[in-house]
Structure formats: C-alpha cells, structure tokens
Amino acid sequence: MAREHRVLALESSCDETACAIVEGRRVLASVVASQIETHAPFGGVVPELASRAHLDAATVVTRAALDRAEMSLDEIDALAVTHGPGLIGALLVGVQMAKGLALATAKPLLGIHHMEGHLFSTGLIDAEHEGPTFAPHLALLVSGGHTELVEVRGLGKYRRIGGTRDDAVGEAYDKVAKMLGLGYPGGPVVDRLAQAGRGDAVAFPRAMIDSDDDDFSFAGLKTAVAVHLEREGLPKTRPALEDLCASFQAAVVEVLAHKTLRARRRSGLNRLCVVGGAAANSGLRAALAEAAVSEGFDFVPAPLRYCGDNAAMIAAAASARLDAGAEARLELFSHRSLDAVGL
C-alpha cells in the first residue's frame, strides 16, 4: 500500500510555536515551543510579545521537527499551516514561514482552521497512543478562547450546536487563578489544587444548567468567585485554597458535563470527544469517562500532550483533506466559524 500523505505543519495562532511532521495520523515529530515564561509576568498573552517570540522560534521548531523525524524537506509531500482564528500578528509568522517553505520547495500548502485541527487531536498515533479513526461524533472544544459543542458528521461537516455566551472555560480558569495570585496559565494550577480539595466547600452557581439550549456561561461564576474573595479575603491556608479551587472546578465541570451529555443523547451520536487546552482538566475527563460507562457511549479525550496547541493536529487535518482530494488553496486569515469551513 502506498504510504499516507506526509505533511509538515506549522501552528502559531496564540502562544505556542509548533511544527510537526505526520504521515496520515501517525506523528513522526511534534515540537512545541511554549511562550509561557514570556507572558507569565503579565498574567496573560501579550499579542505583540507573542509575535516576536514566534519570529524567534519558527525556524528553530521547524529545524527541530525535521531533525527529530530524520528527514529533509524533499521527503515531505505537502505543507500546512493554521490560518485562523487566532492573534493576527502571531498567525502571520506561521503563515509567511509556510508560504516561504512552499515557494522554495514547490510543494502544495494547505491552510487549516485552528479548531478543525483540535478535532484531529484525538486520532493521532504515536509511540504511546493509537487514536481511533475520524468518525461521526459530538465534540466538546474547550480552550482559552473557545467553548463549543460541535456535531462532527465527517470531514468538513461541522455544525456548532452551542457554546459559551461569554467567557471560555480556559479563560475562566485563568481569571480565577489571577484573582488567587496563582499565575498564568491558571488551568493546570487550579486543576491540581482542586484535586486535593472538597468540591462542596463553597456553593458556586451553575449558570444555565437547566436552560434548554446547548449554551454555557462562565462570566457569572467568575464574578461569584470575586465576590466570595471580597467577602472572605484570600484563602489563608492551603486546604482553604484547595477547597475554593475544588468548588470552582465542581461548578464548571457539573455544567459542562451535564449539558454536553444531554447534547450527546439528543444528537444520537455514539462518540463523544473532548479537545483543546482545557480538555486536560482532570475533573472534566473523569466526569465524562464515568458517564461513558453508565450511558454506554464511546468517550475519546485528546491525549494530554495533544490537548494544548500543537502542529501534529494541524498536519493530521491537512493529511485527511489531501486524502479527500483537497487542492492546495490558501485562503488567508479566514475567521470563519467552524461550521463554515466545509470541504
């Protein structure tokens, strides 16, 4: 059998500069240069600094991915790059780098929607993990900028059925962490503390849990944490901090799981995937995994190392598109929603 498309992809939409090489869904190399240290002192991503850091890292990660895969550009079939959505100055770095590579090598170049990339993170294959093939599923996309429920009926057949009306899940974690003086990004720290605390210590609101739509709202919860801190002051002991984090996490997870599971049942889809940076959340993964057993559906969380932004998922999406006969067609900086991506 002829081997599958070998794609080198770049990702620079936010605060990670990444390059990966895949063959079909198999990851030959995946390199991610994180900018956390650059942005941490500011408590969030500073777009101008992100662009500069991408400029520094773009060639380094590309060289590292080729070295790790022990390949030259001649051995690559096609190039891919995230062309939106994301920070414009950050995207430009990856896109221009990819265009340069395409020009120099005369290889086709595909622009990939960042969120479509996340959808492909569950199916990646590497030494430690073999994800399943892309099949119809309900996807819960949770990251620093997005919280969306998407019905995925096939490649390019995406229907957003709901999502947050205000803050994204990761954003809520980051803001709560900031209030607690826990640094940036807040998700992993709050999650770790939450695991040691009692989720029923503070009664936080479960916004929109009973609404009949598939939407979410996390801004009120963030305010509830702020009001609690104003009244009680910052937690004075480690157990009190753990209890606060656990109570916040319990509120987030309960709403996310409840509405996602209901949407899954209504959709009739037998597979549920969770992808994006906040898909690493231990409470969310545990709640959905438990429901998968009791309700009898297939639960496929992205592997932890592919939850955050990476280029392997972008390359895998491009490879699937090449399989489907996609022409190299770079529509730059498309800020279309996922439903409008099409084939």
Shortest spacing between CB 266 and ligand KG4, in angstroms: 26
Instruction: Tell me which of 85, 186, 197, 199 binds ligand KG4, using CB under 6 A.
Output: 186
* Beta strand ranges found along 220-290 (DSSP E): 271-275
Question: In this structure, are residues 337 and 160 in contact, taking their beta carbons and an 8 Å threshold?
Answer: yes
Question: Distance (Å, rounded) from C-alpha 47 to C-alpha 88?
Answer: 9
Going residue by residue from 147 to 166, which x/- string records binding to ligand KG4, judged by CB under 6 A? Answer: --------------------
What type of residue sits at position 327? Answer: E
Interacting span for ligand KG4 (CB under 6 A) from 90-98, 138-146, 156-164, 223-231:
138-146
247 or 267: CB nearest ligand KG4 = 247
Decide: is 191 part of the binding site for ligand KG4 (CB under 6 A). yes
**What is the contact surface with Zn ion in residues (CB under 5 A)?**
143, 309
Q: Tokens for 122, please give them.
A: 């569950």
Q: Tokens for 230, please give them.
A: 């104003």
Shortest spacing between CB 13 and ligand KG4, in angstroms: 7
Decide: is 170 part of the binding site for ligand KG4 (CB under 6 A). yes
162 or 283: CB nearest ligand KG4 = 283
Q: Tokens for 51, please give them.
A: 């662009």
Phi and psi of 28, rounded to 5°? -90, -30
Interacting span for ligand KG4 (CB under 6 A) from 148-156, 171-179, 216-224, 315-323:
171-179
Question: In this structure, are residues 76 and 105 in contact, taking their beta carbons and an 8 Å threshold?
Answer: yes
Q: Tokens for 265, please give them.
A: 């049942």
Shortest spacing between CB 194 and ligand KG4, in angstroms: 9
Question: By CB under 6 A, how many residues form the interface with ligand KG4?
Answer: 20
Question: In this structure, are residues 105 and 72 in contact, taking their beta carbons and an 8 Å threshold?
Answer: no
- Give the residue nearest to ligand KG4 (CB): 277
Decide: is 14 part of the binding site for ligand KG4 (CB under 6 A). yes
Shortest spacing between CB 189 and ligand KG4, in angstroms: 8
Q: Label the pairing between strands 26-34 and 16-23.
A: antiparallel
* Beta strand ranges found along the chain (DSSP E): 6-11, 16-23, 26-34, 78-84, 109-113, 125-126, 129-130, 137-142, 147-154, 157-163, 271-275, 298-301
Q: Tokens for 163, please give them.
A: 């999502």
134 or 248: CB nearest ligand KG4 = 248
174 or 243: CB nearest Zn ion = 174
249 or 319: CB nearest ligand KG4 = 249
Dihedral of the alpha carbons of 114, 115, 120, 124, in degrees to the nearest 10 = 60
Going residue by residue from 275 to 294, which x/- string records binding to ligand KG4, judged by CB under 6 A? Answer: -xxx-xx-------------
Sign of CA dihedral 61, 326, 335, 333: positive
Shortest spacing between CB 74 and ligand KG4, in angstroms: 32
Q: Which residues bind ligand KG4 (CB under 6 A)?
A: 14, 143-145, 170-171, 173-174, 185-188, 191, 276-278, 280-281, 308-309
